[in-house]
Structure 1
Amino acid sequence: MSKIEEVKAMLEAGKAKLVPGLVQEALDEGAEVQTILQAMIDSMGVVGDRFSAGEIYVPEMLMAAKAMSKGVDVLKPLLTGGTSSTLGTCLIGTVEGDLHDIGKNLVAMMIESAGFDVVDLGVDVSATKFIEAIKVNKNVTLVACSGLLTTTMPAMKQSVQEIKASGLTGFKVMVGGAPVTQEYANEIGADGFAPDAGSAAVKAKELVKA
Protein backbone atom coordinates (compact mmCIF):
# COMPACT_ATOMS: atom_id res chain seq x y z
CA MET A 1 0.00 0.00 0.00
CA SER A 2 1.41 3.39 -0.99
CA LYS A 3 1.71 6.17 1.59
CA ILE A 4 -1.11 8.07 -0.11
CA GLU A 5 -3.34 4.98 0.11
CA GLU A 6 -2.43 4.75 3.81
CA VAL A 7 -3.37 8.41 4.28
CA LYS A 8 -6.74 7.74 2.65
CA ALA A 9 -7.40 4.62 4.72
CA MET A 10 -6.50 6.30 8.01
CA LEU A 11 -8.52 9.41 7.16
CA GLU A 12 -11.60 7.32 6.39
CA ALA A 13 -11.04 5.51 9.70
CA GLY A 14 -10.85 8.88 11.51
CA LYS A 15 -7.33 8.33 12.83
CA ALA A 16 -6.51 12.01 13.43
CA LYS A 17 -3.28 11.21 15.31
CA LEU A 18 -1.85 9.07 12.50
CA VAL A 19 -2.79 11.12 9.42
CA PRO A 20 -0.29 14.02 9.83
CA GLY A 21 2.68 11.65 10.13
CA LEU A 22 1.58 9.69 7.08
CA VAL A 23 1.09 12.90 5.10
CA GLN A 24 4.64 13.93 6.03
CA GLU A 25 5.96 10.50 5.02
CA ALA A 26 4.17 10.78 1.66
CA LEU A 27 5.80 14.20 1.15
CA ASP A 28 9.20 12.80 2.12
CA GLU A 29 8.78 10.10 -0.51
CA GLY A 30 8.22 12.77 -3.15
CA ALA A 31 4.44 12.80 -3.48
CA GLU A 32 3.04 16.06 -4.86
CA VAL A 33 1.22 18.32 -2.38
CA GLN A 34 -1.82 18.62 -4.64
CA THR A 35 -1.91 14.83 -5.15
CA ILE A 36 -2.04 14.25 -1.39
CA LEU A 37 -4.65 16.97 -0.93
CA GLN A 38 -6.82 15.55 -3.71
CA ALA A 39 -6.52 12.06 -2.19
CA MET A 40 -7.77 13.40 1.14
CA ILE A 41 -10.62 15.30 -0.54
CA ASP A 42 -11.60 12.08 -2.34
CA SER A 43 -11.56 10.20 0.96
CA MET A 44 -13.83 12.78 2.58
CA GLY A 45 -16.14 12.31 -0.40
CA VAL A 46 -16.29 8.59 0.44
CA VAL A 47 -16.98 9.44 4.09
CA GLY A 48 -19.72 11.85 3.02
CA ASP A 49 -21.33 9.21 0.80
CA ARG A 50 -21.26 6.67 3.63
CA PHE A 51 -22.84 9.23 5.96
CA SER A 52 -25.57 10.04 3.44
CA ALA A 53 -26.23 6.31 3.02
CA GLY A 54 -26.59 5.89 6.79
CA GLU A 55 -23.56 3.56 7.03
CA ILE A 56 -21.78 5.87 9.48
CA TYR A 57 -23.01 8.56 11.86
CA VAL A 58 -22.04 12.03 13.06
CA PRO A 59 -19.23 10.90 15.43
CA GLU A 60 -17.42 8.97 12.67
CA MET A 61 -17.89 11.85 10.28
CA LEU A 62 -16.47 14.33 12.80
CA MET A 63 -13.46 12.08 13.41
CA ALA A 64 -12.74 11.83 9.69
CA ALA A 65 -13.12 15.60 9.28
CA LYS A 66 -10.72 16.15 12.17
CA ALA A 67 -8.22 13.76 10.59
CA MET A 68 -8.55 15.66 7.31
CA SER A 69 -7.98 18.96 9.09
CA LYS A 70 -4.81 17.65 10.76
CA GLY A 71 -3.53 16.38 7.43
CA VAL A 72 -4.24 19.69 5.69
CA ASP A 73 -2.33 21.50 8.45
CA VAL A 74 0.82 19.65 7.32
CA LEU A 75 0.24 20.70 3.71
CA LYS A 76 -0.81 24.33 4.31
CA PRO A 77 2.74 25.82 4.42
CA LEU A 78 3.44 24.14 1.06
CA LEU A 79 0.27 25.28 -0.67
CA THR A 80 1.43 28.45 -2.37
CA GLY A 81 -0.48 31.40 -3.72
CA GLY A 82 -3.97 30.34 -2.82
CA THR A 83 -3.94 27.19 -4.92
CA SER A 84 -5.24 25.36 -1.87
CA SER A 85 -8.72 26.71 -2.37
CA THR A 86 -9.43 26.12 -6.01
CA LEU A 87 -13.12 26.57 -5.29
CA GLY A 88 -12.98 29.98 -3.60
CA THR A 89 -14.44 31.14 -0.29
CA CYS A 90 -17.59 29.76 1.30
CA LEU A 91 -19.38 31.87 3.90
CA ILE A 92 -21.50 29.78 6.24
CA GLY A 93 -23.78 30.74 9.11
CA THR A 94 -26.93 29.74 10.99
CA VAL A 95 -29.68 32.21 10.18
CA GLU A 96 -31.00 34.92 12.48
CA GLY A 97 -32.92 33.66 15.51
CA ASP A 98 -31.35 30.18 15.40
CA LEU A 99 -28.53 29.21 17.77
CA HIS A 100 -27.91 25.66 16.52
CA ASP A 101 -24.41 25.02 15.26
CA ILE A 102 -23.62 21.28 15.24
CA GLY A 103 -25.07 20.71 11.77
CA LYS A 104 -23.51 23.92 10.48
CA ASN A 105 -20.10 22.96 11.88
CA LEU A 106 -20.28 19.55 10.22
CA VAL A 107 -21.21 21.13 6.89
CA ALA A 108 -18.40 23.69 7.27
CA MET A 109 -15.87 20.89 7.82
CA MET A 110 -17.13 18.91 4.84
CA ILE A 111 -17.15 21.95 2.55
CA GLU A 112 -13.65 22.89 3.68
CA SER A 113 -12.43 19.39 3.00
CA ALA A 114 -13.95 19.63 -0.49
CA GLY A 115 -11.50 22.43 -1.28
CA PHE A 116 -13.12 25.69 -0.16
CA ASP A 117 -11.76 28.34 2.18
CA VAL A 118 -14.51 28.47 4.81
CA VAL A 119 -15.43 31.58 6.78
CA ASP A 120 -17.79 30.60 9.60
CA LEU A 121 -20.02 33.50 10.62
CA GLY A 122 -21.44 31.59 13.59
CA VAL A 123 -25.07 31.49 14.69
CA ASP A 124 -27.91 34.05 14.71
CA VAL A 125 -26.53 35.62 11.52
CA SER A 126 -28.70 38.38 10.03
CA ALA A 127 -29.10 39.00 6.32
CA THR A 128 -27.09 42.22 6.79
CA LYS A 129 -24.22 40.31 8.35
CA PHE A 130 -24.15 37.82 5.46
CA ILE A 131 -24.04 40.69 2.98
CA GLU A 132 -21.29 42.54 4.87
CA ALA A 133 -19.23 39.34 4.95
CA ILE A 134 -19.59 38.91 1.18
CA LYS A 135 -18.19 42.44 0.75
CA VAL A 136 -15.17 42.02 3.04
CA ASN A 137 -14.04 38.51 2.08
CA LYS A 138 -12.14 37.76 -1.10
CA ASN A 139 -13.38 35.48 -3.86
CA VAL A 140 -16.68 34.46 -2.24
CA THR A 141 -18.16 31.75 -4.47
CA LEU A 142 -20.69 30.23 -2.08
CA VAL A 143 -22.94 31.44 0.75
CA ALA A 144 -24.41 28.66 2.91
CA CYS A 145 -27.37 29.41 5.19
CA SER A 146 -28.26 26.84 7.85
CA GLY A 147 -31.40 26.61 9.96
CA LEU A 148 -32.69 23.95 12.33
CA LEU A 149 -35.89 25.50 13.61
CA THR A 150 -39.13 25.72 11.67
CA THR A 151 -39.65 29.12 13.31
CA THR A 152 -36.51 30.49 11.63
CA MET A 153 -37.59 29.58 8.11
CA PRO A 154 -38.84 33.15 7.48
CA ALA A 155 -35.39 34.44 8.51
CA MET A 156 -33.77 32.07 6.03
CA LYS A 157 -36.11 33.31 3.30
CA GLN A 158 -35.29 36.92 4.18
CA SER A 159 -31.55 36.22 4.16
CA VAL A 160 -31.62 34.52 0.77
CA GLN A 161 -33.79 37.21 -0.79
CA GLU A 162 -31.77 40.12 0.63
CA ILE A 163 -28.47 38.52 -0.45
CA LYS A 164 -29.92 38.01 -3.94
CA ALA A 165 -31.21 41.59 -4.03
CA SER A 166 -27.93 43.10 -2.78
CA GLY A 167 -26.52 43.58 -6.27
CA LEU A 168 -23.46 41.50 -5.30
CA THR A 169 -22.57 38.77 -7.78
CA GLY A 170 -20.16 35.91 -8.40
CA PHE A 171 -21.50 33.45 -5.84
CA LYS A 172 -24.26 30.89 -5.31
CA VAL A 173 -26.53 30.60 -2.26
CA MET A 174 -27.11 27.19 -0.67
CA VAL A 175 -29.51 26.34 2.17
CA GLY A 176 -29.96 23.39 4.49
CA GLY A 177 -31.16 22.20 7.89
CA ALA A 178 -33.73 19.82 9.33
CA PRO A 179 -36.94 21.61 8.24
CA VAL A 180 -35.59 22.72 4.85
CA THR A 181 -36.65 20.90 1.68
CA GLN A 182 -35.76 21.23 -2.00
CA GLU A 183 -39.23 22.71 -2.57
CA TYR A 184 -38.63 25.37 0.07
CA ALA A 185 -35.19 26.15 -1.35
CA ASN A 186 -36.79 26.65 -4.78
CA GLU A 187 -39.57 28.78 -3.28
CA ILE A 188 -37.18 31.22 -1.56
CA GLY A 189 -34.84 31.48 -4.55
CA ALA A 190 -31.82 29.56 -3.25
CA ASP A 191 -29.45 28.12 -5.86
CA GLY A 192 -29.02 24.84 -4.04
CA PHE A 193 -30.14 22.62 -1.17
CA ALA A 194 -28.50 19.75 0.67
CA PRO A 195 -30.21 17.42 3.17
CA ASP A 196 -27.04 16.56 5.09
CA ALA A 197 -23.35 17.39 5.47
CA GLY A 198 -22.11 14.71 3.10
CA SER A 199 -24.28 15.84 0.21
CA ALA A 200 -23.61 19.51 1.09
CA ALA A 201 -19.97 19.14 0.04
CA VAL A 202 -20.99 17.51 -3.25
CA LYS A 203 -23.65 20.14 -3.92
CA ALA A 204 -21.24 22.98 -3.04
CA LYS A 205 -18.78 21.81 -5.69
CA GLU A 206 -21.56 21.33 -8.26
CA LEU A 207 -22.90 24.85 -7.70
CA VAL A 208 -19.54 26.56 -7.97
CA LYS A 209 -18.44 24.64 -11.03
CA ALA A 210 -21.79 25.01 -12.81
Structure 2
Amino acid sequence: MAKFDELKQSLVRGDTPGVSTLVQQFVDQGDEPNLILDDGLLPAMDIVGQKFKNNEFFVPQVLFAARAMNAGMDILKPLLIGSGSLKLKGTVVIGTTRGDQHDIGKNLVVMMLESAGYRVVDLGTDVSTEKFVAAARKEKADILGMSALMTTTMAHMPEVVTQCQQEGLKDKVKIIIGGAPVSSEYAHKIGADGFSQSATEAVDLVRSLLAPKEA
Protein backbone atom coordinates (compact mmCIF):
# COMPACT_ATOMS: atom_id res chain seq x y z
CA MET A 1 0.00 0.00 0.00
CA ALA A 2 1.49 3.29 -1.18
CA LYS A 3 0.53 5.19 1.98
CA PHE A 4 3.01 3.12 3.97
CA ASP A 5 5.90 3.54 1.51
CA GLU A 6 7.73 6.07 3.67
CA LEU A 7 7.38 3.79 6.69
CA LYS A 8 8.78 0.87 4.72
CA GLN A 9 11.73 2.93 3.51
CA SER A 10 12.49 4.12 7.03
CA LEU A 11 12.49 0.58 8.35
CA VAL A 12 14.69 -0.73 5.55
CA ARG A 13 17.15 2.09 6.34
CA GLY A 14 17.08 1.09 10.01
CA ASP A 15 15.78 4.52 11.00
CA THR A 16 14.35 3.73 14.46
CA PRO A 17 13.19 7.28 15.35
CA GLY A 18 11.64 7.64 11.90
CA VAL A 19 9.72 4.36 12.21
CA SER A 20 8.47 5.28 15.69
CA THR A 21 7.30 8.70 14.51
CA LEU A 22 5.52 7.38 11.43
CA VAL A 23 3.83 4.50 13.25
CA GLN A 24 2.56 6.91 15.91
CA GLN A 25 1.30 9.28 13.21
CA PHE A 26 -0.66 6.49 11.52
CA VAL A 27 -2.11 5.41 14.86
CA ASP A 28 -3.08 8.99 15.74
CA GLN A 29 -4.85 9.50 12.42
CA GLY A 30 -6.92 6.37 12.97
CA ASP A 31 -5.24 3.74 10.82
CA GLU A 32 -5.87 0.17 11.97
CA PRO A 33 -2.84 -1.22 13.84
CA ASN A 34 -3.08 -4.53 11.98
CA LEU A 35 -2.91 -2.67 8.63
CA ILE A 36 0.18 -0.74 9.76
CA LEU A 37 1.76 -4.07 10.65
CA ASP A 38 0.61 -6.15 7.68
CA ASP A 39 1.00 -3.50 4.95
CA GLY A 40 3.91 -1.52 6.39
CA LEU A 41 6.26 -3.17 8.84
CA LEU A 42 6.12 -6.82 7.80
CA PRO A 43 6.63 -6.22 4.04
CA ALA A 44 9.58 -3.94 4.90
CA MET A 45 11.21 -6.71 6.95
CA ASP A 46 10.69 -9.07 4.01
CA ILE A 47 12.66 -6.60 1.87
CA VAL A 48 15.43 -6.53 4.47
CA GLY A 49 15.51 -10.32 4.54
CA GLN A 50 15.73 -10.52 0.76
CA LYS A 51 18.55 -7.97 0.65
CA PHE A 52 20.44 -9.95 3.30
CA LYS A 53 19.95 -13.13 1.30
CA ASN A 54 21.27 -11.39 -1.83
CA ASN A 55 24.33 -10.03 0.03
CA GLU A 56 23.08 -6.46 -0.46
CA PHE A 57 22.73 -6.10 3.32
CA PHE A 58 25.00 -7.43 6.05
CA VAL A 59 24.48 -8.15 9.75
CA PRO A 60 24.70 -4.50 10.94
CA GLN A 61 22.00 -3.33 8.51
CA VAL A 62 19.73 -6.23 9.50
CA LEU A 63 20.23 -5.45 13.19
CA PHE A 64 19.35 -1.79 12.65
CA ALA A 65 16.23 -2.75 10.69
CA ALA A 66 15.16 -5.27 13.32
CA ARG A 67 15.55 -2.66 16.06
CA ALA A 68 13.44 -0.24 14.04
CA MET A 69 10.83 -2.97 13.58
CA ASN A 70 10.77 -3.62 17.32
CA ALA A 71 10.33 0.11 18.00
CA GLY A 72 7.28 0.14 15.76
CA MET A 73 5.94 -2.98 17.45
CA ASP A 74 6.36 -1.37 20.88
CA ILE A 75 3.68 1.10 19.78
CA LEU A 76 1.43 -1.37 17.98
CA LYS A 77 1.57 -4.40 20.28
CA PRO A 78 -0.60 -2.99 23.12
CA LEU A 79 -3.18 -1.88 20.54
CA LEU A 80 -3.16 -5.22 18.75
CA ILE A 81 -3.47 -7.16 21.99
CA GLY A 82 -6.27 -4.88 23.17
CA SER A 83 -8.20 -5.38 19.94
CA GLY A 84 -7.57 -9.12 19.91
CA SER A 85 -6.06 -8.92 16.42
CA LEU A 86 -2.50 -9.88 17.37
CA LYS A 87 -2.16 -13.44 16.15
CA LEU A 88 1.30 -14.86 16.76
CA LYS A 89 2.28 -17.41 14.14
CA GLY A 90 3.83 -19.88 16.57
CA THR A 91 6.25 -20.30 19.44
CA VAL A 92 9.97 -20.86 18.95
CA VAL A 93 12.27 -21.94 21.80
CA ILE A 94 15.89 -21.22 20.89
CA GLY A 95 19.35 -21.29 22.45
CA THR A 96 23.02 -22.06 21.99
CA THR A 97 24.06 -25.58 22.96
CA ARG A 98 25.85 -26.61 26.15
CA GLY A 99 29.41 -25.29 26.42
CA ASP A 100 28.94 -22.67 23.67
CA GLN A 101 28.90 -18.97 24.59
CA HIS A 102 28.51 -17.62 21.04
CA ASP A 103 25.25 -15.78 20.53
CA ILE A 104 25.53 -13.17 17.76
CA GLY A 105 23.98 -15.41 15.11
CA LYS A 106 21.38 -16.73 17.51
CA ASN A 107 20.42 -13.20 18.59
CA LEU A 108 19.96 -12.17 14.98
CA VAL A 109 17.67 -15.15 14.38
CA VAL A 110 15.65 -14.17 17.46
CA MET A 111 15.19 -10.60 16.21
CA MET A 112 14.23 -11.73 12.71
CA LEU A 113 11.71 -14.29 14.00
CA GLU A 114 10.12 -11.77 16.35
CA SER A 115 9.95 -9.26 13.52
CA ALA A 116 8.22 -11.88 11.37
CA GLY A 117 5.49 -12.37 13.98
CA TYR A 118 6.64 -15.36 16.03
CA ARG A 119 6.78 -15.64 19.80
CA VAL A 120 10.39 -16.43 20.69
CA VAL A 121 11.63 -17.81 24.01
CA ASP A 122 15.38 -17.16 24.07
CA LEU A 123 17.18 -19.52 26.46
CA GLY A 124 20.52 -17.79 25.91
CA THR A 125 23.88 -19.57 25.70
CA ASP A 126 25.32 -22.75 27.20
CA VAL A 127 21.90 -24.42 27.31
CA SER A 128 21.76 -27.98 28.61
CA THR A 129 19.78 -30.77 26.97
CA GLU A 130 17.43 -30.85 29.94
CA LYS A 131 16.75 -27.11 29.73
CA PHE A 132 15.99 -27.27 26.00
CA VAL A 133 13.52 -30.11 26.44
CA ALA A 134 11.89 -28.66 29.58
CA ALA A 135 11.40 -25.28 27.88
CA ALA A 136 9.94 -26.87 24.74
CA ARG A 137 7.41 -28.72 26.89
CA LYS A 138 6.59 -25.78 29.19
CA GLU A 139 6.20 -23.23 26.38
CA LYS A 140 4.31 -25.66 24.13
CA ALA A 141 6.86 -24.85 21.44
CA ASP A 142 6.16 -25.39 17.77
CA ILE A 143 9.86 -25.07 16.96
CA LEU A 144 12.99 -25.85 18.98
CA GLY A 145 16.07 -24.14 17.56
CA MET A 146 19.69 -24.91 18.46
CA SER A 147 22.82 -23.01 17.49
CA ALA A 148 26.46 -24.03 17.81
CA LEU A 149 29.66 -22.44 16.59
CA MET A 150 32.07 -25.21 17.51
CA THR A 151 32.25 -28.87 16.53
CA THR A 152 32.61 -29.82 20.19
CA THR A 153 29.35 -28.11 21.14
CA MET A 154 27.35 -29.20 18.09
CA ALA A 155 27.87 -32.73 19.41
CA HIS A 156 25.19 -31.96 22.02
CA MET A 157 22.53 -31.43 19.35
CA PRO A 158 21.72 -35.13 18.86
CA GLU A 159 21.32 -35.48 22.62
CA VAL A 160 18.46 -32.96 22.50
CA VAL A 161 16.83 -34.74 19.55
CA THR A 162 17.08 -38.09 21.35
CA GLN A 163 15.69 -36.66 24.58
CA CYS A 164 12.75 -35.14 22.72
CA GLN A 165 12.06 -38.53 21.15
CA GLN A 166 12.24 -40.31 24.50
CA GLU A 167 9.85 -37.83 26.10
CA GLY A 168 7.32 -37.99 23.28
CA LEU A 169 7.92 -34.46 22.05
CA LYS A 170 9.40 -35.20 18.64
CA ASP A 171 5.98 -35.38 16.98
CA LYS A 172 4.87 -32.13 18.64
CA VAL A 173 7.87 -29.86 18.04
CA LYS A 174 10.01 -29.37 14.95
CA ILE A 175 13.75 -29.21 15.66
CA ILE A 176 15.99 -26.92 13.62
CA ILE A 177 19.73 -26.31 13.89
CA GLY A 178 22.27 -23.77 12.68
CA GLY A 179 25.80 -22.49 13.12
CA ALA A 180 29.10 -22.43 11.26
CA PRO A 181 30.06 -26.13 11.60
CA VAL A 182 26.53 -27.41 11.02
CA SER A 183 25.17 -28.66 7.70
CA SER A 184 21.97 -30.00 6.20
CA GLU A 185 23.63 -33.43 6.09
CA TYR A 186 24.29 -33.25 9.82
CA ALA A 187 20.69 -32.19 10.47
CA HIS A 188 19.45 -35.22 8.55
CA LYS A 189 21.94 -37.51 10.30
CA ILE A 190 20.80 -36.55 13.82
CA GLY A 191 17.09 -36.51 13.00
CA ALA A 192 16.53 -32.73 13.07
CA ASP A 193 13.77 -31.30 10.89
CA GLY A 194 15.83 -28.59 9.23
CA PHE A 195 18.99 -26.51 8.96
CA SER A 196 19.62 -22.88 8.08
CA GLN A 197 22.80 -20.98 7.24
CA SER A 198 21.49 -17.51 8.10
CA ALA A 199 18.85 -15.62 10.02
CA THR A 200 16.69 -15.02 6.97
CA GLU A 201 16.92 -18.68 6.00
CA ALA A 202 15.87 -19.55 9.54
CA VAL A 203 12.71 -17.46 9.14
CA ASP A 204 11.96 -19.14 5.80
CA LEU A 205 12.57 -22.55 7.37
CA VAL A 206 10.24 -21.88 10.29
CA ARG A 207 7.58 -20.61 7.89
CA SER A 208 7.83 -23.74 5.77
CA LEU A 209 7.73 -26.11 8.75
CA LEU A 210 4.69 -24.39 10.22
CA ALA A 211 2.94 -23.68 6.92
CA PRO A 212 0.05 -26.13 7.51
CA LYS A 213 -0.56 -24.58 10.96
CA GLU A 214 -0.39 -20.99 9.68
CA ALA A 215 -2.75 -21.67 6.79
Please give the range of the TM-score, normalised by the shorter of the 2 chains.
Answer: over 0.9
In structure 2, how many angstroms separate the alpha carbons of the residues matched to 1:192 and 1:85?
A: 25
- Equivalent residue number for residue 21 of structure 1: 21
Of 91, 104, 111, the residue aligned with 2:113 is 111
Larger displacement relative to structure 2 (128-137 or 104-113) = 128-137
Where structure 1 has 5 or more consecutive residues not aligned to the other structure, the ranges are none
Q: Distance in 2 between matches of 1:37 and 1:68?
A: 10
> 1:3, CA displacement in angstroms?
4.4
Secondary structure of residue in 2 paired with 1:86: coil
Deviations 1:55-104 (A, max 9, x none): 11111010000000101000011122775343121111001111100000
- Number of matched pairs: 209
Distance in 2, Cα, partners of 1:5 & 1:208: 29
The question of 1:92 aligning with 2:94 is answered: yes
CA distance in 1, matches of 2:43, 2:158: 33
RMSD of aligned Cα (Å): 1.7
AA matched with 1:95? T
Q: Which amino acid aligns with 1:63?
A: F
**Change over 3 Å in CA distance of 1:85–1:92 after alignment to 2:** farther
Percent sequence identity over aligned pairs = 46
Partner of 1:61: 62
Structure 1 consecutive aligned stretches of length 4 or more whose deviation exceeds 4 Å: none
Which residue is equivalent to 1:207? 209
Please, which runs of 5 or more residues in structure 2 have no aligned partner? none
**Pair 52,99 (structure 1): closer, same or farther in 2 beyond 3 Å:** same
Q: Which TM-score applies when normalising by structure 2?
A: 0.91
The separation in 2 between residues aligned to 1:18 and 1:144, in whole angstroms, is 33
Q: State whether residues 143 and 174 of structure 1, in contact with CA within 8 Å, keep that contact through their aligned partners in structure 2.
A: yes
Q: Which amino acid aligns with 1:155?
A: H
Question: Which structure 2 residues correspond to residues 116-127 of structure 1 after superposition, within 5 A?
Answer: 116-127=118-129
TM-score, normalization by structure 1: 0.93
Q: Which residue of 1 aligns with 2:34?
A: 34
CA distance in 1, matches of 2:167, 2:80: 33
Q: 1:78 maps to which residue?
A: 79
What is the match of residue 5 of structure 1?
A: 5
